[in-house]
């Protein structure tokens, strides 16, 4: 009875999240339109959400409040289509199906309002996601906005991939940045999306980018030339063997000068081990049997440091240098005992 009462109670609770999905297609070929812009408007709040369809034209988004909404579908070279939806307490999922939009431009006699900037633009070698055209950029950080960029995926541990691979490089305004080279996740998590204009996903880097053998590039275009600031992090840990480690990381960008530096110390200990072996030599008449037993144990320390600094001479020239060092010392404790003797056996 308690279980049935609980199910009935939850059945009458209002739905707190509404999932809307569908597919944007060409009305003539009925093929999906990649990276079409979907805008969600409310009469009271105005534009509340903007997103792009995927490479096949599919889209899905969620809303948290009941009411009437206008969903606007736009794509370059196609007429704008508006669809009205109503969210109520009894329906938590809405499938809009195939949204067919017509090719061509609408014929109008007078223009009073200019078109909004498209959310996604495609070029020969890259895809551009306009962060300043997304209303969610006002409250999110750069790492959260990367989840919406086509071809880019961010998993639950904030690991970034492009088309399923981690072989890429992140640039800031087309140049390498010491703030992003060593610890990109923490920097992007602390970077407000409101300071970013566009995010470019360059799938075929040209010679003007410092690709350094990487397959793709994420180029973050900011609303201003530099992002000045300082960020630091310390970490420490211990293990069950009695070892411990500690580290420090710091990065900064001050006008045209930027640097990052890190240092890690590790005290490691290997537990003791015992060994025993016995050998019989059939060709020897003096030392026919040989035994060996021993023990070993070691501990050591390791120091590792690295750093990078850069100076932007002008908009076309950047000077940078980096260093790396590693020192390790091990202390061995080893004991080996050997013995040899001759013995006869009855066959």
Distance CA 129, CA 116 (A): 14
The pTM of this model reads 0.55
Give which of 248, 282, 280, 278 is closest to 265, Cα–Cα.
248
| Distance (Å) of CA 203 to CA 127, 164, 166, 167, 345 | 8, 13, 13, 11, 76
| Distance (Å) of CA 277 to CA 65, 282, 283, 337 | 74, 17, 19, 11
3-state secondary structure 168-229: EEEEECCECCHHHHCCHHHHHHHCEHHHEEEEEEECCCCCCCCCCCCCEEEEEEECCCCCCE
**What confidence score (pLDDT) does residue 59 get?**
92
For the stretch 107-154, pLDDT in tens is: 555 555 445 667 888 888 889 999 888 888 887 888 888 988 988 888
As a whole number, mean pLDDT of residues 63-67 equals 84
Q: Which residues pair with 293 in a beta bridge?
A: 276, 337
Give which of 235, 230, 203, 195 is closest to 219, Cα–Cα.
203
**What confidence score (pLDDT) does residue 26 get?**
92
pLDDT of 196 above 80: yes
| Distance (Å) of CA 146 to CA 107, 119, 191, 209, 322 | 36, 13, 12, 21, 28
222 and 245 Cβ atoms separated by less than 8 Å: no
Alpha-helix runs per DSSP H in 43-192: 142-146, 178-181, 184-190
44 and 1 Cβ atoms separated by less than 8 Å: no
As a whole number, mean pLDDT of residues 330-347 equals 53
228 and 187 Cβ atoms separated by less than 8 Å: no
pLDDT of 4 above 90: no
Half-sphere exposure of 179 (CA within 13 A, CB side): 25
Here the tokens at position 163 are 């088309």
196 and 187 Cβ atoms separated by less than 8 Å: no
**What confidence score (pLDDT) does residue 338 get?**
59
Q: List, in order of start, the domains of the chain with CATH numbers.
A: 17-107 (2.60.40.10), 117-223 (2.170.130.10), 229-341 (no CATH)
């Amino acid at each position: 009875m308690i279980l049935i009462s609980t199910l009935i109670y939850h059945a009458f609770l209002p739905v707190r999240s509404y999932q809307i999905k569908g597919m944007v297609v060409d009305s003539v070929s009925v093929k999906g339109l990649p990276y079409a812009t979907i805008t969600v408007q409310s009469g009271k709040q105005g534009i509340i959400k903007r997103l792009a369809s995927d490479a096949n034209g599919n889209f899905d988004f969620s809303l948290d409040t009941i009411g009437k909404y206008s969903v606007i579908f736009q794509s370059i070279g196609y007429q704008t289509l508006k669809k009205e939806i109503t969210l109520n307490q009894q329906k938590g999922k809405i499938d809009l199906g195939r949204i067919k939009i017509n090719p061509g431009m609408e014929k109008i006699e007078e223009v009073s309002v200019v078109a909004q900037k498209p959310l996604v633009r495609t070029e020969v070698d890259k895809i551009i996601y306009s962060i300043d055209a997304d209303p969610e950029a006002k409250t999110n950080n750069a790492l959260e906005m990367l989840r919406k960029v086509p071809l880019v995926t961010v998993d639950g541990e904030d690991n970034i991939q492009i088309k399923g691979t981690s072989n890429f490089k992140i640039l800031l305004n087309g140049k390498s940045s010491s703030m992003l080279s060593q610890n990109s996740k923490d920097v992007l998590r602390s970077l407000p999306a409101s300071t970013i204009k566009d995010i470019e996903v360059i799938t075929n880097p040209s010679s003007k980018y410092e690709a350094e053998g990487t397959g793709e590039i994420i180029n973050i275009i900011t609303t201003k030339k530099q992002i000045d600031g300082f960020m630091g992090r310390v970490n420490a840990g211990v293990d069950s063997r009695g070892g411990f480690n500690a580290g420090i990381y710091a990065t900064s960008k001050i006008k045209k000068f930027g640097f990052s530096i890190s240092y890690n110390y590790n005290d490691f200990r290997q537990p003791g081990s015992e060994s025993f072996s016995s050998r019989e030599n059939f060709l020897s008449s003096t030392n026919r049997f040989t035994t060996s037993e021993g023990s070993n144990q070691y501990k050591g320390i390791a120091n590792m440091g690295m750093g990078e600094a850069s100076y932007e001479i002008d908009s076309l020239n950047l000077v940078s240098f980096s260093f790396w060092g590693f020192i390790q010392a091990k202390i061995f404790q080893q004991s080996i005992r050997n013995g040899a003797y001759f013995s006869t056996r009855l066959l």
